[in-house]
Amino acid sequence: MTEVALQAVELVRRIEGAVSHTLVNGIDLAVSKGEFVAITGPSGSGKSSLLYLLGLLDAPSEGEVMICGQPTSKLSESDRADVRLTKCGFVFQFHFLLPEFTSLDNVLLPMRAAGRMAEAEMRERGLALLDSLGLAEHANKRPNQLSGGQRQRVAIARALANRPEIIVADEPTGALDTASTEQVFSILRNIADKGQTVVVVTHDPALAARADRRIHIVDGKIAEITERGRGELVCEAVS
């Protein structure tokens, strides 16, 4: 039986106001360790909202998110921050690197915040990560000296810094050209193949098809789930 890295149980995210709006509407989902899951759906379907809930960036109105079997709904904001720091790595559509820092310093940021390694060890790991993503010679460059694809790869290196169980990526190729998109997706695929769980939100059906599982969201609900290789619908949407 495969180990579950990430699980959503009856997950609901509602925006309260004069007119309340439900972004995520009762989603049940389990992602295994080392699985590569792509979340797709039209704009406004709630796929990014679901991703933020899964990555503990946002708190659900109802339901539960379990990271490596640990429930998180009762955690304080500080404890959620700790879980994000150690168990989740984030990649966004825009790289969101700190502009005044070098690539290496950006990669070191989560490690320094966690403070679990010696400085020399951190630098060694940071350089190794950049090297593995083909950025060794760009370690001392600032983000404005890098191309879009390079910046996104630095952002991936930063997400991997603390060896998180789960990588969540929100349209990581949304602002990249075709070559960079291919490169970034290959890296994410590679990460999953090495045993880390990857959940990606994407608009690109071709890329989503390369995931182990594609979850299509419509109106905050799972409309269909497709598994790679089988090329067939395995789960009809909940009505």
Partner 1 sequence: MKLLFNIAWTHVSTRVRQTLVGMAGVSMGVGFTIMMAGLMQGSQIDFLRQLVDTMPHITVEDERRSVPTQPAEQEYAAVQMSDIANVGKRPGIRYSESVMSSLRSWIPGDVAPSAKTTAIVNHGGARIGITLSGIDPRREVQVSKLATQMREGKIDDLSRAPNGIIMGEALAEKLGVKTGNTVLLVGGQGVQLNSTVAGLYRSGLKRVDESQIYSLMGPAQVMMGQSGVINQLRLRLNDPMLAQKVAAQVEAQTGYKSVSWQEANADLLSSFTVRDFIVLTVMGAMLLTSSFATYNIISTITHEKRQDIAIMKSLGMREYAVRRIFIIEAAIIGVVGILFGWILGYLLCYGWSKITIFNPLTGATVPLQIYYSLAHYVIVGGISLVCCAGAAYFPARKATCVHPVEIIRGAS
Q: Return residues touching partner 1 (CB under 8 A).
A: 48, 52, 57-58, 77-78, 81-86, 88, 90, 92-94, 96, 98, 100-101, 105, 109-110, 112-114, 158, 170-171
- Of 149 and 164, the one with the shorter C-beta distance to partner 1 is 164
Which run of H or E residues covers position 117?
Answer: none
- Of 78 and 178, the one with the shorter C-beta distance to partner 1 is 78
Question: Considering the complex, what minimum distance in angstroms separates the CB of residue 99 from partner 1?
Answer: 8
- Of 96 and 224, the one with the shorter C-beta distance to partner 1 is 96
Strand partners, 13: 24
Which run of H or E residues covers position 8?
Answer: strand 4-15
- Of 148 and 225, the one with the shorter C-beta distance to partner 1 is 148
Question: Considering the complex, what minimum distance in angstroms separates the CB of residue 200 from partner 1?
Answer: 15
Question: Considering the complex, what minimum distance in angstroms separates the CB of residue 97 from partner 1?
Answer: 8
> Looking at this protein, which amino acid is placed at residue 175?
A
Residue 234, classed as helix, strand or coil, is strand
- Of 85 and 222, the one with the shorter C-beta distance to partner 1 is 85
Backbone CA torsion sign across 204, 207, 209, 215: negative
CA distance 210 to 228: 7
Question: Considering the complex, what minimum distance in angstroms separates the CB of residue 209 from partner 1?
Answer: 23
Rounded to whole angstroms, what are the CA distances from 179 to 18, 73, 147, 205?
45, 40, 12, 16
Q: For residue 148, give the nearest of 204, 89, 93 by alpha carbon.
A: 93
Rounded to whole angstroms, what are the CA distances from 109 to 38, 60, 88, 161, 187?
27, 28, 14, 8, 21
Question: Considering the complex, what minimum distance in angstroms separates the CB of residue 160 from partner 1?
Answer: 12
Question: Considering the complex, what minimum distance in angstroms separates the CB of residue 231 from partner 1?
Answer: 31
- Of 15 and 234, the one with the shorter C-beta distance to partner 1 is 15
- Of 82 and 124, the one with the shorter C-beta distance to partner 1 is 82
Cα of 160 vs its chain's centroid, Å: 11
CA distance 11 to 64: 6
In this structure, what are the phi and psi dihedrals at residue 5, rounded to the nearest 5 degrees? -90, -35
Question: Considering the complex, what minimum distance in angstroms separates the CB of residue 52 from partner 1?
Answer: 5
